[in-house]
Amino acid sequence: DWTAMVQRLYHPERTVRVALVGKYTELHDAYLSVVESLLHAGTAHSTAVDIDWIDASTLTDDTVTAARLAGIQGIVVPGGFGDRGIEGMIRAAHFARTAGVPYLGLCLGMQILVIEFARHVLGLPQAHSTEMDRDTPDPVIALMPDQNGVVLGGTLRLGKFRCALTPGTLAHRAYDGAAEIGERHRHRYEFMNSYRPAFEAAGACFSGVNPERDLVEITEITGHPWMLGVQFHPEFKSRPNRPQPLFREFIGAVCEGYSDVSLRRNS
């Protein structure tokens, strides 16, 4: 098995171009686990993954974003803290959703997916996370109740937590039909459940939920080729001969040809 894996790694059948849209792109090691997970997933599909490192703060408007992401076959928005580059990430998520480009959001990347959907699908133009805008009238992402008044540090929601999966969803299929999974977390903010009915009515699917706290762990956009965000960090569990399921399926979606943006726009 290892020999076959090495053969696929060094003799890929294709190369795909994936944008990594983040805050710390000048320091590639900041996203080392994400990069390795993309490599593992690509190898599983006999595919070389060419990463285009994009500083989210350079995506200053929709025109710039469309030009910068032209030809991109998949978009990853990884984790991070603070408000720098947030609007650029939202523009990248908007591009992915409207152009049908596969999207994988990790921790902050799921929150970005939620904010973009709230603004442009639900018609809530000031929707935001209270991490970036404490006075937003639509806090679709907010500080977890047990984090109020807690100093940032080792107090984050850390470690492995349960996640129940909804049958028939992208996540459920990725995890081979498992009813429940356990993934590692590192966050303080969560999706606000009071907005769930509106999101679901508009085409969002909350395919993974923590059963103890009814906390949204996975969000998908139905009707899109492959758009999914997770509150946890799946990149921490990927291995060369055992790619993380969500990364594997994300690259699989990229390889299936969802990348031809010009054809989709003209269809």
Measure the CA–CA gap between 196 and 199, rounded to whole angstroms: 5
Q: What phi-psi label fits residue 22: left (phi over 0), alpha (psi between -120 and 50 degrees) or beta?
A: beta
Measure the CA–CA gap between 111 and 93, rounded to whole angstroms: 10
Measure the CA–CA gap between 33 and 76, rounded to whole angstroms: 13
Q: Is 235 considered catalytic here?
A: yes
Considering the candidates 190, 233, 249, 255, report the single residue annotated as catalytic: 233
Measure the CA–CA gap between 131 and 86, rounded to whole angstroms: 11
Measure the CA–CA gap between 237 and 186, rounded to whole angstroms: 14
Considering the candidates 40, 45, 107, 217, report the single residue annotated as catalytic: 107
- C-alpha 12 chain-centroid distance: 25
Q: Where are the beta strands (DSSP E) in 91-179?
A: 103-106, 128-129, 139-143, 157-165
Q: Are 42 and 251 a contacting pair, CB within 8 Å?
A: yes
Q: Is 233 considered catalytic here?
A: yes
Q: Is 163 considered catalytic here?
A: no
Q: Could you give the residue numbers annotated as active site? A: 107, 233, 235
